[in-house]
Structure 1
Amino acid sequence: MSVQDTIRETVTSNPVVLFMKGSPQFPQCGFSATAAQILKLSGVAEYASVNVLADDEIRQGIKEYANWPTIPQLYVKGEFVGGCDIMKEMFQSGELQQLLTEAGVVSA
């Protein structure tokens, strides 16, 4: 199985996936910490997180998968949502909460 297959499998088999540096409990960069906090504030109790620092192939592969150069990256229902800045903007506008509610990840 290629790295791209592994990533595809991860994002399609979990409703919410955050590719980040570190873990939600112990983020290893400010952007990853912010992304995890935004999900928490949005009411997402459980989600899959992938520590890109633990696997160089995944770390490089995820950038190619979404054609997005930075980490963290958020996926909801298999779709790439964005990185930290996009998550922040969407959270502030209420768009992220709406997306998560429509995806059935959080209740309204």
Structure 2
Amino acid sequence: MSLDPNSEVHQFIDTTVKNNPVVLFMKGTPDAPRCGFSSLAVQVLDHLGVEFAGVDVLQDNDLREGIKAYTDWPTIPQLYIKEEFIGGSDIIRELFQSGELKALLAEKGVIEA
């Protein structure tokens, strides 16, 4: 599935990713995740002290499908750091456990090393 770059959904995703240093497209909100994978991502970011924008894809089916097409990534959550797509919950967990996520966030100036 491709996403028309002129569509409202594409424009919303693009603007959100560009205007926030860290964005998590997730099911639910950071305060009330609605799936275990989104909850894990929020816990990791909170543990690292990262301020991030949480976007609830359950509020809009076009957004839920649009984010998958935007990245050509089939699952949610999806993490972006400084406009770079990082991955979903498995990748977030692996990067966190190896210390690479903290290093990446520090390198990008999102958190202090």
Provide TM-score, normalisation by structure 1. 0.96
1:103 Cα deviation (Å)? 1.2
Over the residues paired in the alignment, what is the CA RMSD in angstroms?
Answer: 0.8
1:2 Cα deviation (Å)? 2.2
Provide, for residues 24-79 of structure 1, a one-character-per-residue CA deviation record: whole Å limited to 9, x for no partner. Answer: 110000000000001011221x2111000011111010000010000000000001
> Counterparts of 2:104 and 2:8 in 1: how far apart (Å)?
30
SS of residue in 2 equivalent to 1:12:
helix
Provide, for residues 72-101 of structure 1, a one-character-per-residue CA deviation record: whole Å limited to 9, x for no partner. Answer: 000000010000000000000000001111
> Counterparts of 2:46 and 2:68 in 1: how far apart (Å)?
24
The residue number in structure 1 matching 2:73 is 68
**Higher relative contact order (Cα pairs below 8 Å, separated by 6+ residues):** 1
The residue number in structure 2 matching 1:85 is 90
Would you say how many aligned residue pairs link Structure 1 and Structure 2? 107
Runs of 4+ in 1 over 4 A off after TM superposition: none
The residue number in structure 2 matching 1:57 is 62
Paired AA for residue 29 in structure 1? C
Report whether the alignment pairs 1:95 with 2:100: yes
Sequence identity percentage: 59
Extract unaligned runs of 5+ from structure 1.
Answer: none
The residue number in structure 1 matching 2:3 is none
SS of residue in 2 equivalent to 1:104:
coil
> Counterparts of 2:37 and 2:86 in 1: how far apart (Å)?
15
The residue number in structure 2 matching 1:9 is 15
- 1:22 corresponds, among 23, 28, 32, to 28
Extract unaligned runs of 5+ from structure 2.
Answer: 1-6
